[in-house]
Amino acid sequence: MLDSIIKAYNEAVFETDKEAAFDVVNAALASGMRAEDIVFKIVIPAVEEMMSNITRDPDANLAQHFMTAQIASEVTEKMLEKFEHPPEIIGRVVIGTAHGDLHSLGKRIVMGCLKALMVEVIDLGVNVPAARFVDEAVANAAQVIAVSAMMVHTATGENGARGVRQILRERGIEKQFRIVVGGAPYRFDNELYKTVGADGWAPDGVNASRMIVDLIKEVKAS
Amino acid sequence: MTPLEILVAAVTGAPAPRIPIFCNLLDHGPRELGMAQQQYYANGEYVAAGQLKMRERYGHDNVWSLFYVGKEAELLGCNEILYAEDGPPNVADFVIKSYDDVARLEVPDDITAHPAWTETARCLKILKDEVGATHPICAYLTASTTLPALLMGMDKWMELLLTGPADVRDELLKKCSEFYQKEVAAYRAAGANVLVYSTPFGSTSFVGMKRFKDFSMPWMQLDLTPGGVGSIVYYCGMAPFNNVIQQVMDELKIGVYYISPLADLAEAKAIIGAKGLTCGVIDDIKMIGWTPEQTRAEVKRMCEIGMVDEHFLFGTGVMPLGVPEANIHAMIAAAFEYGTYKRD
């Protein structure tokens, strides 16, 4: 039975059909399935399946990324209300778009996936100064600082990831955090993330969440 | 031959001494005139002067009437633009903040009478008078399926498109298509002769093939049918679109394709062939870190692929300010060198 639920849910996500995904989840709940199992056995594996699909499917697209994140986030939120015990949080990330940048789509995709993967997300919004990324990361004991930038000047400028790195260095707290970046400029130059002082990047928001989870574990292990 | 004649020859396949060479320098204008962005973009004479000076400095073929992309949002009621000294201005205030705002959105009856058009018209008149007979004058027009992103933000537009009420979505798209049709007519009348149709949702990097066929294609048809596709360039905001070129050729009859640097140029050229014009686009974000020699090598590679059987144009994306000037000179010199046809 679980296999058929997973199959139906994955198909709904792949077709970007939120209503169908919720129908599957509600039917599973009605049949007696626990909310915890829906999140850990259906929703999280579906996000991971989508990560693999994006990598190998040339027709994977922004609409799928967006809906994967939306569906995963909304289903998880609804299921968390029904959990018997609060789930264990993997870690924390502060996320925002770089100073001067008002594009929020990429950030929203990453946030949706991270919530489903049990990462606590502190959303700093758009047009965020470099110092605020650092201040909030410290205040919230985050492991990862995620800086989104859709334009070349906000990706490479002193007020973006480069500035975050500089401030971490000046304060002597570089080792406590990892910096990740995302956005269109990094897709056109895959080495650009190193130039701006980031520890990682991903070509899409869904796979960015996997990288962030890996970096959280790396920081916690160090 | 003039650069305009060379461009026409590249489209039609008539003999020409070289390929057309496009370099899209927008953000460089204020620096060229030694002005702050806000001062520069407030006056169409400055924008025209910036374009003409940069064309003289680098020697490429085209000039632009585009100030910045958010200009279209200003024609639809946006009152706040975020300026930057090191990059393009951005829309800072979205006209549509709730679905109720869609009903309130007004497309001007005559966009040429709108105050936000005044400086664009001034710029176009100067460009037309100075180089209109000899050089391509480019205009940038956002497709109905993409314009909502400028009016409400891309994430809110995706939300409306994929999960929102269909009647609200369709009302917004109809207004955006009406705006496009009026805008393209205004640009044509004012002398623009290269009309870049920016349609990221015309790429399956944005929506899947099914939604491309069922959603993007019908709206593109609605945009383009009234005014026709003369001088239209199919451009997906640097996203790849090789897999839909044939369909776009068959159904929309567009002849000019601005290929993404992320796409396979040889594949695009093979699809388009002599039926249209393939525009090879250099990855100008990589140019920030390249040497002039690396830049030359890439131009050479692209020309070798694209110039076979002619029907080829060399172009850039929206050149970032961070690209070293030496690389821009190297790129254009190489395009003239490798882009010259060797005829017996």
- Tokens at B67, concatenated: 């100030």
- Domain contains B99: yes
- Domains contained in chain B, number: 1
CB contact under 8 A, B91 and A102: yes
Class of the CATH domain delimited by A91-221: alpha beta
CB atoms within 10 A of CB B104: 10
Q: Choose the closest CB to B87 out of A63, A100, A104.
A: A100
Question: What pLDDT is attached to residue A53?
Answer: 80
User: Could you read off the pLDDT of A110-143 as tens digits, one per residue?
Assistant: 999 999 999 999 999 999 999 999 999 999 999 9
Give contacts of A185 with chain B, Cβ < 8 Å: 285
Q: What is the CATH number of the domain that holds B116?
A: 3.20.20.210
Give domain A2-80's CATH number out of 3.30.559.10, 3.90.110.10, 1.10.340.30, 1.10.1240.10: 1.10.1240.10
* Under-50 pLDDT residues of chain A: none
User: Could you read off the pLDDT of B245-263 as tens digits, one per residue?
Assistant: 999 999 999 999 999 999 9
- Domain contains B26: yes
- Which residue range is the domain that position B68 belongs to? 3-338
Q: Choose the closest CB to A153 out of B84, B158, B204.
A: B84
Give contacts of B321 with chain A, Cβ < 8 Å: 152-153
CB contact under 8 A, A189 and B286: yes
- Domain contains B256: yes
CA distance A132 to B71: 31
CB contact under 8 A, B84 and A195: no
Q: What are phi and psi of B28, to 5 degrees?
A: -75, -15
CB half-sphere exposure, B260, CA atoms < 13 A: 22
- Domain contains B143: yes
Torsion sign, CA atoms B1, B7, B8, B14: positive
Does A185 contact B at CB distance below 8 Å? yes
In chain A, CATH 1.10.1240.10 sits at 2-80
- Domain contains B299: yes
- Tokens at A163, concatenated: 């500035």
Question: What pLDDT is attached to residue A58?
Answer: 66
In chain A, CATH 3.40.50.280 sits at 91-221
Question: What pLDDT is attached to residue A78?
Answer: 92
Question: What pLDDT is attached to residue A50?
Answer: 82
Per-residue pLDDT tens listing for chain B (344 residues): 999 999 999 999 999 999 999 999 999 999 999 999 999 999 999 999 999 999 999 999 999 999 999 999 999 999 999 998 888 999 999 999 999 999 999 999 999 999 999 999 999 999 999 999 999 999 999 999 999 999 999 999 999 999 999 999 999 999 999 999 999 999 999 999 999 999 999 999 999 899 999 999 999 999 999 999 999 999 999 999 999 999 999 999 999 999 999 999 999 999 999 999 999 999 999 999 999 999 999 999 999 999 999 999 999 999 999 999 999 999 999 999 999 998 76
CB contact under 8 A, A66 and B289: no
SS (H, E, C) chain A: CHHHHHHHHHHHHHCCCHHHHHHHHHHHHHCCCCHHHHHHHHHHHHHHHHHHHHHHCCCCCHHHHHHHHHHHHHHHHHHHCCCCCCCCCCEEEEEEEECCCCCCHHHHHHHHHHHHCCEEEEECCCCECHHHHHHHHHHCCCCEEEEECCCHHHHHCCCCHHHHHHHHHHCCCHHHCEEEEECHHHHHCCCHHHHCCCCEECCCHHHHHHHHHHHHHHHHHC
Question: What pLDDT is attached to residue A57?
Answer: 75
